[in-house]
Amino acid sequence: MPTPVSVFGADLDPDIRRFIRETGAAYGDHPPFDSLTPEEMRAVCEIVRAPWRQGGPVMARTEDFDLDGMRVRLLDPTPSREPKPALVYIHGGGWMLFSIDTHDRLVREYAARAGVIVIAMDYSYAPAAKFPVALDQVVETVRWAHDRAATLGIDPDRIAIGGDSVGGNMSVAAALKLRDAGDGGLLKGLMLHYGAFDDDSAPEDHIRYGGEGYMLSSAEMVMFWENYLTDDTERQNPLAVPMRADVSGLPPAFFTIPECDVLHGQSVAMAEKFRAAGVPARSEIYQGASHSFLEAMSISPLAERAIAEGADWLKTQFARQGVSA
């Protein structure tokens, strides 16, 4: 792997640069991650991310459920109990970190802007839970949302899935599992934000964006993959590494692609793979954006625009199912 080069500065949007610096400073108030247990890492992340989840839309209904020991949260933006489309959202964090709490503001924004119920879930964390435990939980959550649609206020014919980083990975993998089980029709769309679709990045992405200053480093991704997989043979499994999959027959997708991200090329390549397989795919590259930039929505017009464009795409996708969202 090429040695990452840190070039922190000119290519980043100023508000995104501020987000990275303030987040980095907050992490600096705690012991280095390499001295912490995974549980301690997660506790620090909850503290550091707390300011970025504040504010935003107020939900008419928020309910937490226990799904076989897994926390699942339903967020409904309006008081109407007419069935609404739903987005099952899978948070990122390298299969090890973050939660539905760290991503609370983001999912509320999508609920309010797209007029959908969001089902957010906390899957089991690596390294205690290896592939495919979390993926199986994602599939279980989709099936649960569909099967309980009537009581949850969901239109069972208009369910999409999405997520950021490894949440994008598992969104595609869940769609593959459902397709191969003959249940591909359960999902009507994929919202994929800076996804970890491959187990390595393009050399140019490592060199330019894999060092300090761009929110996600090459070294972190190596750690995440090593903690998620049991052994290297699983790197050939398309459910673990979706870039190796046949994606034909998957639902249409929206790709949110930051320019300044070590995973940049993966999203570009995956969007091209979708289109080559005949799957409609819209990809938007956000100049000056970094990994995780959507969480900066409270200070960044660029993040706000990206969220709005994704929500508009989702509304349009659901409207194509025959009823406006």
The residues assigned a catalytic role are 165, 261, 291
The answer to whether 222 touches 287, Cβ cutoff 8 Å, is no
- Burial code (b: 16+ CB inside 10 Å, e: under 16) for 278-303 equals ebebbbeebebbbbbbbbbbbebebb
Nearest residue to 160 (alpha-carbon basis) of 95, 111, 197: 111
Nearest residue to 167 (alpha-carbon basis) of 242, 245, 113: 242
Contacts of residue 231, defined as CB under 8 A and 6 or more positions apart, other chains included, come to none
Question: How far is Cα 49 from Cα 103, in angstroms, rounded to an integer?
Answer: 9
Question: How far is Cα 245 from Cα 171, in angstroms, rounded to an integer?
Answer: 13
Question: How far is Cα 91 from Cα 101, in angstroms, rounded to an integer?
Answer: 10
Alpha helices in 229-293 (DSSP H): 264-276
Give CA angle at 253 (104, 136), nearest 5°. 65
Structure tokens at 70: 């897994």
Q: How far is CA 265 from the centre of its chain?
A: 16
Nearest residue to 89 (alpha-carbon basis) of 169, 145, 161, 186: 161
The type of residue at 321 is Q
**CA Rg, the chain, in Å?**
18
- Sequence length of the chain is 325
Nearest residue to 192 (alpha-carbon basis) of 88, 296, 112: 88
Question: How far is Cα 157 from Cα 12, in angstroms, rounded to an integer?
Answer: 40
